[in-house]
Structure 1
Amino acid sequence: MAVFPFDIHATDGAARTGTLQTARGDIQTPAFMPVGTAATVKGVYMEQVRQTGADVILGNTYHLMLRPGAERLARLGGLHHFCGWGGPMLTDSGGFQVWSLSKLRKMSEQGVEFRSHIDGSRHMLSPERSMEIQADLLGADICMQFDECTAYPSTHEQARTSMELSLRWGERSLERFGDRPDQTLFAIVQGSTFEDLRIESAARSVSLGGYGGYAIGGLAVGEGHEAMCRVLDFTCPALPTDRPRYLMGVGKPIDIVEAVYRGVDMFDCVIPTRSGRHGQVWADTGPYNIRKAEFAEDDTPLDATVNCPASQTYSKAYVHHLIRSQEMLGQMILSWHNIAYFQDLMARMRRAIHASELDAFVTEFRRGLT
């Protein structure tokens, strides 16, 4: 398979900034990937997503295989063509849904048999089927190995059993993925919060060879911010320096800032658009609720420091009115702003790393949270 060139331009402590070169365009790291679960970044046009500075978006294998169907997407030209996104796209493997929809599935060595949450139909998702969907049918640029997202909390024995299964599924994923000059496959490191398991998972994944990057899975599942940081402290140094590191499903801005500080390169999360649908506006001080009465006559923009029409053009009073009136435009404006804010945060961290000023940036960011 392709191992996309990953050029690191600058480092500052454990943090680094670089460029991951894919066949569909470059990804500037550290990078935040807006989530396009069902071939859409909810409430935002793809042109707007690109204008915020996003280089890459994420698609969801589980949801797309159920609706509209992976084979249908292939007949319609693949996921990029279907949704109008011409840049790089990463797809998850379906492993997170194996964890989150545990009441609807039966897991075995072969894979996961589950009932659709939509219509109850039965499906089998295995490493081989996940690779077929991601690489052959959806046409993702970056695919993820099929894995089991380890539940939290877990005992050491439970975490080891889960980790071993993910490693075996990773080998099968690699074999099925094969040689693809324009696509790459990332490994997923598991092990819950146990240092020995995380380091072993990383070492054994690296020893398989061929992976284009390494993801850290099984976090943002209830362990909390401090535990997440502790896991990153001992996991990131165990991963190759010449491959991108991807922290899956994270997260809040403070989580991202702390993870970049520890050497993570890529992130994804539904928070920007989910918050937008619920009236939350993200800023360096944390999220604020635009529904509050204090904004009813506030004529200032959502955030004049963010270079985005949603952030600079519309007043807090106007968006307050839209959200209180249940007008969908309010949710769209907030989702657009929140994605732009996250992209602006990544750009500021890239500049801080280049200038060897990340320590000061992180200190100030921590201090500014309310």
Structure 2
Amino acid sequence: MTHIGSFQIHHTDGPARSGELVTAHGVVPTPIFMPVGTQGTVKSLSPDDLENLGARIILGNTYHLYLRPGDELVARRGGLHRFANWPHPILTDSGGFQVFSLAGLRELSEEGVTFRSHIDGSKHFFSPEKVIDIQRNLGSDIMMVLDECVPYGADHAYTEKSLQLTTRWAKRCREAYPRGAGDQLVFGIVQGGFFEDLRRQSAEQICALDCEGFAIGGLSVGESKQEMHDILQCTAPLLPSAKPRYLMGVGTPLDILNGIAAGVDMFDCVLPTRNARNGTLFTSQGKVNIKRAEYQEDDSRLDPACGCYTCRTFSKAYLRHLYTSRELLSYRLNTIHNLTFFLDLVCGAREAIAAGTFASYKKGFEAVYET
């Protein structure tokens, strides 16, 4: 199968699996990490940088791109791929999480969500149909349905009411862009908070929809690692094995490996890029806080096991100097390294799954990174 939307699993190692998802702008190997390009750009990097890192798909944000420069402007420029000069696959989220984070500036209803812009306070409205229209204008390869991400600590009654609303919104999104309407794919989102019965209920409802893939939403919202792990273990097996599974916004190295071990295929998180700008770097020997004084005269490379431009070219002393001087090059070099680490992490996972050694591969990272 090579048609757009087809998903083939090539290897399995327990629940972990490696495969390929076909999109209109190329084939995505899985498991995959997607760098976050919120406003049509991965902060501090060019498309050439991303190519050189081996990025295969990036993520854009519907909420932010709607506000500026505007999805209709992007459409007039030929879509996000052409506008940003990124010829490879793009996934756009629905904007639901951003609206959720604006708790004091939004109001939910059956029809959708009314919210105020974080930029200028102007009033806007997202319906399920509007969210699909925006993503059609952006021209992303994968569009996410509108959902409500319930806050951590929400009770059972509220969470159940919310997941039912998310299901109704998901149906409207699918009806607004039915299978065969074009080359874009639609992914449904399973919610249900931290209640296993509600996760099962949401999965049953969402997976009954005619979507090309399914996501696990509502994690990494303040819960403990154990709570996240428990819900992940409960939810992932409920998603169709023949469709890609996406864990939204979750992203330490061990979170990703635990997700892969549970059978998840796709991941995104701002962690590697945000931490890069804050001077925290991920290496094969653990995390490095590059601003520490101990690196002031350290001529060694950041990570001897990494082949990225940053590690091939510069010393820890120079990287520390750039960071403490707030030089813009610091953000670029640190981001190049952190994204290389995350992309190498999932590439290594794909190879380990194919070789039947994923458990030992995961254990190697557990020895270096705390859970």
Which whole-Å CA distance do the structure 2 matches of 1:221 and 1:187 have between them?
A: 19
Q: Residue 113 of structure 1 corresponds to which residue in structure 2?
A: 114
CA displacement at 1:311 relative to structure 2: 2.5
Please tell me whether the aligned partners of residues 220 and 250 of structure 1 are also in contact (alpha carbons under 8 angstroms): yes
Alignment of 1:22-37 (within 5 A): 22-37=23-38
* Length-normalised TM-score, structure 1: 0.97
Within the alignment, does 1:87 sit opposite 2:88 as a pair? yes
Letter in 1 for 2:337: H
Count of equivalent residues: 367
Q: Residue 328 of structure 2 corresponds to which residue in structure 1?
A: 328
Q: Residue 342 of structure 1 corresponds to which residue in structure 2?
A: 342
Within the alignment, does 1:7 sit opposite 2:8 as a pair? yes
Q: Residue 140 of structure 1 corresponds to which residue in structure 2?
A: 140
CA displacement at 1:13 relative to structure 2: 0.6
Which whole-Å CA distance do the structure 2 matches of 1:313 and 1:254 have between them?
A: 28
Q: Residue 245 of structure 2 corresponds to which residue in structure 1?
A: 245
The Cα offsets for residues 21-73 of structure 1, whole Å up to 9 and x where unpaired, read as 11210101000000000111001111111221111000000000001111111
CA gap 1:302/1:81 in 2 versus in 1, 3 angstroms: same
Q: Residue 230 of structure 1 corresponds to which residue in structure 2?
A: 230
SS of alignment partner, residue 350 of structure 1: helix
Q: Residue 305 of structure 2 corresponds to which residue in structure 1?
A: 305
Alignment of 1:154-165 (within 5 A): 154-165=154-165
Which whole-Å CA distance do the structure 2 matches of 1:233 and 1:324 have between them?
A: 41
Please tell me whether the aligned partners of residues 191 and 199 of structure 2 are also in contact (alpha carbons under 8 angstroms): yes
Please tell me whether the aligned partners of residues 4 and 22 of structure 2 are also in contact (alpha carbons under 8 angstroms): no
SS of alignment partner, residue 143 of structure 2: strand
Please tell me whether the aligned partners of residues 4 and 20 of structure 1 are also in contact (alpha carbons under 8 angstroms): yes
The Cα offsets for residues 139-175 of structure 1, whole Å up to 9 and x where unpaired, read as 0100001110111111111110110010000000001
CA displacement at 1:307 relative to structure 2: 2.5
Letter in 1 for 2:13: D
CA displacement at 1:239 relative to structure 2: 0.8
Which whole-Å CA distance do the structure 2 matches of 1:16 and 1:217 have between them?
A: 20
CA displacement at 1:98 relative to structure 2: 1.8
Q: Which runs of 5+ in 1 are unaligned?
A: none
SS of alignment partner, residue 326 of structure 1: coil
Cα RMSD between the aligned structures? 1.2
Alignment of 1:1-370 (within 5 A): 4-135=5-136, 137-178=137-178, 179-208=180-209, 210-369=210-369
CA displacement at 1:285 relative to structure 2: 4.2
Please tell me whether the aligned partners of residues 284 and 305 of structure 2 are also in contact (alpha carbons under 8 angstroms): no
Letter in 2 for 1:6: F
Q: Which moved more, 1:271-280 or 1:124-133?
A: 271-280
Which whole-Å CA distance do the structure 1 matches of 2:248 and 2:360 have between them?
A: 26
Letter in 1 for 2:138: L
Please tell me whether the aligned partners of residues 284 and 303 of structure 2 are also in contact (alpha carbons under 8 angstroms): no
Which whole-Å CA distance do the structure 1 matches of 2:181 and 2:6 have between them?
A: 15
SS of alignment partner, residue 301 of structure 1: coil
Q: Which moved more, 1:237-246 or 1:175-184?
A: 175-184
Q: Which moved more, 1:306-315 or 1:13-22?
A: 306-315
* Length-normalised TM-score, structure 2: 0.97
Letter in 2 for 1:153: G
Q: Which runs of 5+ in 2 are unaligned?
A: none
The Cα offsets for residues 232-253 of structure 1, whole Å up to 9 and x where unpaired, read as 1111111111100000001111
Please tell me whether the aligned partners of residues 310 and 333 of structure 1 are also in contact (alpha carbons under 8 angstroms): yes
SS of alignment partner, residue 148 of structure 2: coil
CA displacement at 1:131 relative to structure 2: 0.1
CA displacement at 1:286 relative to structure 2: 3.5
Letter in 2 for 1:8: I
CA displacement at 1:299 relative to structure 2: 1.2
The Cα offsets for residues 314-352 of structure 1, whole Å up to 9 and x where unpaired, read as 111111010111111011100111011100001111111
Letter in 2 for 1:98: V
Please tell me whether the aligned partners of residues 303 and 312 of structure 1 are also in contact (alpha carbons under 8 angstroms): no
Letter in 1 for 2:202: S
Which whole-Å CA distance do the structure 2 matches of 1:261 and 1:298 have between them?
A: 37
Please tell me whether the aligned partners of residues 7 and 244 of structure 2 are also in contact (alpha carbons under 8 angstroms): yes
Which whole-Å CA distance do the structure 2 matches of 1:23 and 1:115 have between them?
A: 34
SS of alignment partner, residue 17 of structure 1: strand
CA displacement at 1:289 relative to structure 2: 0.7
Please tell me whether the aligned partners of residues 3 and 211 of structure 1 are also in contact (alpha carbons under 8 angstroms): no
Which whole-Å CA distance do the structure 1 matches of 2:369 and 2:38 have between them?
A: 29
Which whole-Å CA distance do the structure 2 matches of 1:241 and 1:78 have between them?
A: 32
CA displacement at 1:3 relative to structure 2: 6.3
SS of alignment partner, residue 288 of structure 1: strand
